[in-house]
Amino acid sequence: MKALDGIKILDFTHVQSGPTCTQLLAWFGADVIKVERPGVGDATRKQLVDVPGADSLYFTMLNHNKRSIELNPKTPKGKEILTRLVKECDVLVENFAPGALDRMGFSWERIQEINPRMIMASVKGFGPGKYEDCKVYENVAQCAGGSASTTGFLDGPPLVTGAQIGDSGTGLHLALGIVTALFQRERSGRGQKVLAPMQDGVLNLCRVKLRDQQRLEKGPLTEYSQYGEGIPFGEATPRAGNDSGGGQPGRILKCKGWETDPNAYTYFITQAAVWEKVCDVIGKPEWKEDPEFATPKARLPKLNLIFDTIEQWTMTKTKFEVMDICNPLDIPVGPILSMKEIAEDEGLRATGTIVEVEHPERGAYLTVGCPIKFSDCDVEVTRSPLLGEHTSEILRDVLGYSDDEIHEIAGSGAIGELPKAAE
Ligand code: COA
């Protein structure tokens, strides 16, 4: 048994944010029916193509364990089919541009009329307000949510981060909203509307930076390197480079091989509780008693000297040796892992977080499996569907149409060309 067995998701999502959400729900056991425009499908199928003629990794890696139906709800027959799907399903998830679902004739009011138990979940760029009609992509959300202004170095421009906190991050937020609404429905019997705006999701992940904004009004942020360097603070939370956010000084330091390997670095935190062990490891035992170095406050103006000295030591070790030496001493360090190293990581493969999946058009490819592990809900990652692969199956098994009716529907243009399985 899977956690969401029996839950049917009408998946109107595309690109990254929405598909991330519905992929999680599929992994948790929901039957995810992805509705795609006939003959076209999710635009990512054909974006960043690496194997000509095959669905791209962009698409396959975000749409595992789903079924695909080609359906145009803008045709009369398509409207009829979608109405029946809304009746049958528990959750409708969408991340269209604002208003697109209404323009299809499926407003929230109409959906409630068809199925009062329906949960309608949406990703939008912004919540209600002056930007609510904007179309939004990942980096726009990172900028509007406070991530870009607080990422990067003090003397450089704002930076976007590689982690897709706007798209995938908001998908995660929405998934939590959906299971919460399903849980409430158990008691209320009613569906509800769930909205996850990308700006809000990014801001939620940048919570500590709003914390710092308010602390800044009371005085300088002493844990930021710029404080120790005597650089005055402005009015807003500054970019903190690679400082660690928790108040314990931390930096990224070079390791053995940095001259040729762009990822031969380690993160190193001089946590107060293990300062004496740090001094021993880097060969500076005298710093333990020296009042110039012995307390966290005394160290603040000397962080550049301290980290330069630690780096002299880390440069004599590989990032993994640094980890092996520091870990048993509880000195927090982290090797900077490249995507190549992660792809080859045996530990991540053993836990199913990196998995190899077979695909009929492209052969085997690597993907990130479910990052959440359950003791009583096995997750098996299966390949993404081909466009319209399950159109007839869904019309027949979920909605009860006969084969003759399916042929008739195909003739109406609502589902594009008759899907292979029904031919
Ligand atoms: N059959 C027929 N038409 C369909 C269809 C289907 N199965 N599925 C979608 N369409 C139509 C929509 O109805 C819409 O038509 P309309 O504008 O006439 O109403 C059209 O396709 C385009 O949809 P839209 O969502 O506007 O796509 P876009 O490519 O112009 O914009 C985004 C893409 C991502 C910017 C936009 O969808 C958006 O802002 N989404 C919300 C925020 C978000 O999730 N952003 C991150 C994405 S990772």
Ramachandran angles phi, psi of 219, nearest 5°: 150, 175
Burial string for 135-147 (b: 16+ CB within 10 Å, else e) reads ebebebbbbbbbb
pTM of the model: 0.96
Structure tokens at 186: 């158990």
Distance between CA 256 and CA 414 in Å, rounded? 61
Give the atom of ligand 1 at the shortest distance from the alpha carbon of 135.
Answer: 39
- Measured in Å, residue 206 CA sits from the centre of ligand 1 at 27
User: Which residue among the candidates 31, 42, 167, 200 is catalytic per the annotation?
Assistant: 167
Residues having CB within 6 Å of any atom of ligand 1: 15-18, 35-37, 71-74, 95-97, 100, 103-104, 123-125, 135-137, 167
Helix ranges restricted to H, 104-149:
108-114, 138-144
DSSP E strands in 270-407: the ranges are 333-335, 354-359, 363-368
**CA of 154 relative to ligand 1 center, distance in Å:** 37
Does 149 belong to an annotated binding site? no
| Residue 330 bears catalytic tag | no
Q: What is the pLDDT along the chain (423 residues), one digit of tens a residue?
A: 999 999 999 999 999 999 999 999 999 999 999 999 999 999 999 999 999 999 999 999 999 999 999 999 999 999 999 999 999 999 999 999 999 999 999 999 999 999 999 999 999 999 999 999 999 999 999 999 999 999 999 999 999 999 999 999 999 999 999 999 999 999 999 999 999 999 999 999 999 999 999 999 999 999 899 998 999 999 999 999 999 877 799 999 999 999 999 999 999 999 999 999 999 999 999 999 999 999 999 999 999 999 999 999 999 999 999 999 999 999 999 999 999 999 999 999 999 999 999 999 999 999 999 999 999 999 999 999 999 999 999 999 999 999 999 999 999 999 988 755 444
Residues 317, 250: contact at Cβ < 8 Å? Answer: no
Q: Is 388 annotated as a binding residue?
A: no
E strands, 187-320, are: 193-197, 250-254, 265-269
